[in-house]
């Protein structure tokens, strides 16, 4: 085998390995982004907790549905002097 043919074959092998690594990284990136979107994705909400007089006690912005559920549970355990207004975040509603 001549030196030129050997260099050509080495170049092809390096190109094939590079292509394989590139495709693997692209697939891994897509899987990562899909997983991240599934975990952290979903609509975000703005929740305002106030007393019966309308005085705002705490305002939460851009919270996921799981946190809204936790807030509702905690308010349910308190006495009847609180209310909660839940709205879809402005960034999500546009």
* Model confidence pLDDT, tens digit, residues 7-64: 999 999 999 999 999 999 999 999 998 887 777 777 889 999 988 888 898 999 988 8
Per-residue model confidence (pLDDT) at position 84: 87
At residue 94, the pLDDT reads: 46
The pLDDT score that the predictor gives to residue 35 is 83
16 close to 37: Cβ distance less than 8 angstroms: no
Three-state secondary structure string covering 20-56: HHHHHHHHHHHHHHHHHHHHHCCCCEEEEEEECCCCE
């Amino acid at each position: 085998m001549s030196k030129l043919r050997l260099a050509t074959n080495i170049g092809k092998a390096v190109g094939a390995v590079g292509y394989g690594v590139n495709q693997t990284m692209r697939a891994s990136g897509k899987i990562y982004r899909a997983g991240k979107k599934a975990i952290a994705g979903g609509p975000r909400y703005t929740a305002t907790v106030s007393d019966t007089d309308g005085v705002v006690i705490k305002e939460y912005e851009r919270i996921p549905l799981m946190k809204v559920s936790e807030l509702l549970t905690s308010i349910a355990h308190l006495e009847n002097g609180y209310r909660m207004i839940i709205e879809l975040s402005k960034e999500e509603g546009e």
